[in-house]
């Protein structure tokens, strides 16, 4: 399975402003178009509960007819099942509960499954095993930083499409690229491709783990 991620970062490593409960684009319109195009390369898209709350909609690519499998990682299952994402019965959704709890507080749509995979060592490997059973061959990780950190720590993320946006947010409370966490074994990177569009630098990075 190909596992890749796409993120945009400020020069001080932040992926968005602090204290917002809605989507705020850090990059340009071209950066968003780049993300949408990458979604076309994936038959599965995974993101965390905070990312869902800021964008509770379908993560569509350019091909609006594709019913890409959506995967959400959530510790508490505190999700709004009335949100737009859950209103499309043709889009399969799997929620990975970070606890033993698989009982949602609201009525669960029939096309949504909840799988308990507690937040402990080996969690990402178990999640990927389940993702593979769903027939996924290419998984796009869309964040946030806490999720990206988990995939890098588990040494399973193969590629990162990183947009460097020439701004400085300058707020310690703003979310950052790795969720404010350390990496026990930092990887090295190989620049597979790079280009500059306007003031933004687009990097396609390959991971080299210890």
pLDDT at 9: 97
pLDDT, position 193: 98
With CA atoms as reference, report the closest residue to 96 among 78, 116, 79, 123.
Answer: 116
Measure the CA–CA gap between 16 and 13, rounded to whole angstroms: 9
Structure token pair of residue 207? 């991971």
pLDDT bracket for residue 102 (50, 70, 90): confident
**Mean pLDDT, the chain, integer:** 95
Looking at residue 22, what is its pLDDT?
A: 84
Domain ranges of the chain: 2-208
Run of H or E residues at 126: helix 123-133
Joined tokens for residue 89 = 């019965």
Q: Which CATH architecture has domain 2-208?
A: 3-Layer(aba) Sandwich (3.40)
129-140 pLDDT, tens digit each? 999 999 999 999
* Residues 59, 169: Cα–Cα separation, whole Å: 26
In this prediction, residue 107 carries a pLDDT of 82
CA 37/CA 61 separation, integer angstroms: 6
pLDDT at 68 over 90: yes
Which helix (H) or strand (E) element contains residue 36?
helix 29-39
């Amino acid at each position: 399975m190909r596992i890749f991620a796409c993120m945009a970062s400020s020069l001080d490593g932040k992926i968005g402003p602090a204290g917002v409960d809605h989507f705020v684009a850090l990059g340009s319109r071209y950066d968003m178009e780049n993300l949408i195009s990458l979604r076309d390369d994936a038959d599965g898209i995974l993101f965390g509960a905070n990312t869902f709350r800021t964008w509770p909609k379908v993560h569509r690519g350019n091909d609006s007819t594709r019913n890409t499998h959506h995967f959400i990682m959530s510790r508490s299952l505190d999700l709004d099942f009335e949100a737009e994402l859950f209103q499309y019965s043709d889009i399969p959704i799997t929620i990975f509960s970070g606890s033993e709890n698989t009982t949602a507080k609201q009525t669960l749509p029939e096309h949504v499954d909840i799988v308990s995979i507690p937040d402990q060592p080996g969690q990402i490997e178990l999640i990927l095993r389940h993702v593979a059973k769903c027939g996924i061959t290419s998984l796009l990780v869309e964040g946030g930083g806490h999720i990206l950190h988990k995939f890098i720590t588990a040494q399973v993320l193969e590629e990162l499409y990183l947009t460097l946006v020439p701004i400085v947010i300058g707020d310690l409370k703003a979310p950052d690229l790795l969720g404010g966490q350390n990496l026990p074994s930092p990887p090295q990177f190989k620049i597979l491709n790079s280009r500059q569009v306007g003031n933004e630098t687009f990097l396609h990075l390959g991971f080299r783990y210890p």
